Amino acid sequence: MENYTIEDLNQAAMQIILHAGDCRKVLNDALNAVYEDDMAGAEKKLKIAKAEITEAHRLQTAMIQGTIMDENQPTSLLFTHAQDTLMTINSELLLVKHMIKLYKKLEDKING
């Protein structure tokens, strides 16, 4: 997207927040699956979470690329909030992935 309006930016920001929020919800579902010893379910949820955060990141990138061609493109506090939300939940995704790996490793040691 080369040029965008403030309305376009705010709409993209809301979509970023929604996809990132969906990622967070699915990550919680993945952890609940681990608690219930459903590792296959947890892995499935991780894939869904990754798809959600990837879409949020794609939307963010599209907006940022518009600034490459025109540094005077509008920005908003909502878009800044969306970026913050995206990065926070991306960190949560990485942590949950490591937590699940750690759980598997501990389970293997206990059962092995």
First to last CA, the chain: 53
Q: What is the average per-residue pLDDT within 43-72? A: 92
Mention every residue, 6+ apart, whose C-beta is less than 8 A from residue 96: 27, 30, 31, 46, 49
- Residue 106 is predicted with a pLDDT of 94
Task: Quickly count: other Cβ atoms within 10 Å of residue 50's Cβ.
Answer: 16
- Residue 60 is predicted with a pLDDT of 95
Which member of 19, 57, 81, 98 is catalytic? 81
Please give the structure tokens belonging to residue 112. Answer: 């092995």
Q: Specify whether 57 is catalytic.
A: no
Q: Confirm whether residue 84 is marked as ligand binding.
A: yes
pLDDT digits (tens, 9 = 90+) for 60-103: 999 988 777 777 888 899 999 999 999 999 999 999 999 999 99
- Residue 3 is predicted with a pLDDT of 77
Spell out the domains of the chain, with CATH numbers in brackets. Answer: 6-111 (1.20.58.80)
Q: How far is 88 from 74, CA to CA, in rounded Å?
A: 23
Closest CA to 76 of 25, 24, 16: 16
- Residue 2 is predicted with a pLDDT of 64
